[in-house]
Amino acid sequence: MIFSLLFIIFALGVVIYFVRLSPKSFETIIEESLRLASNRPKPFVKVLPTISSRISDKVVEADNTPVYLQRGWVRKDNGYHGYYRTQYGAWEGAIQRRGDAFYVFINDPPTEKLRHHSRWPCFRQETGKRWRIHLAVNPVDQDINSIILYVESVIRDSFRK
């Protein structure tokens, strides 16, 4: 009887010990993790003020001409006309805006190269040598320069494959 009572007291002591210890250990682990996480160095990124405000007379200012002007694109009718220019050649094209969507065209594209590109199914022949490139993602800021650069990158990629 006494042994049973002692055993019960001992068992209760063990249970109380572990019940108290376990949450404490868990809290310790959490605290340790948070401490380590907060100690992890955050990546350093800093954007400096606009160059033009920091530049001296001896430094050449970075060219800020829009891409469509650099490429010689002109605004005509209801869109822009010009050439997609790459080191592999230049292809005449046009970009028309209809609402929030852009209609992108290219004349006589390098189909032999493009047909191996993952975006080839998005090229649809319209009339004669005129092809349309269907855009699934239009530039959020309605910037045609992004479209010109994108088409040029697709052409470049197709020649590199």
Partner 1 sequence: MSNGRNFVEAEILEQGVKRVLIKFPGGMRPPQQALVGPGSTTQDLLNHLGLSRDYALSAGTGDTTFGLSEIIYPLISDGDLLFATSRVDAGS
| Residues of the shown chain interacting with partner 1 in the complex, contacts defined by CB under 8 A | 41, 43-48, 50-52, 54, 56, 62, 64-67, 69, 119, 121-123, 133-141, 143, 145-147, 149-150, 152-154, 156-157, 160
Q: 131: phi > 0 → left, psi -120 to 50 → alpha, else beta; which?
A: beta
Q: 139: phi > 0 → left, psi -120 to 50 → alpha, else beta; which?
A: beta
**Identity of the residue, 1 or 59, whose beta carbon is nearer to partner 1 in the bound complex:** 59
Instruction: State in Å, rounded, how far the first CA of the chain is from the last one.
Output: 87
> Collapsing DSSP states into helix, strand and coil, what is residue 150?
helix
**Identity of the residue, 81 or 146, whose beta carbon is nearer to partner 1 in the bound complex:** 146
Tell me how far, at minimum, the Cβ of 134 lies from partner 1, in Å: 6
Tell me how far, at minimum, the Cβ of 80 lies from partner 1, in Å: 13
Q: Name the token pair of 115.
A: 């047909």
**Identity of the residue, 4 or 56, whose beta carbon is nearer to partner 1 in the bound complex:** 56
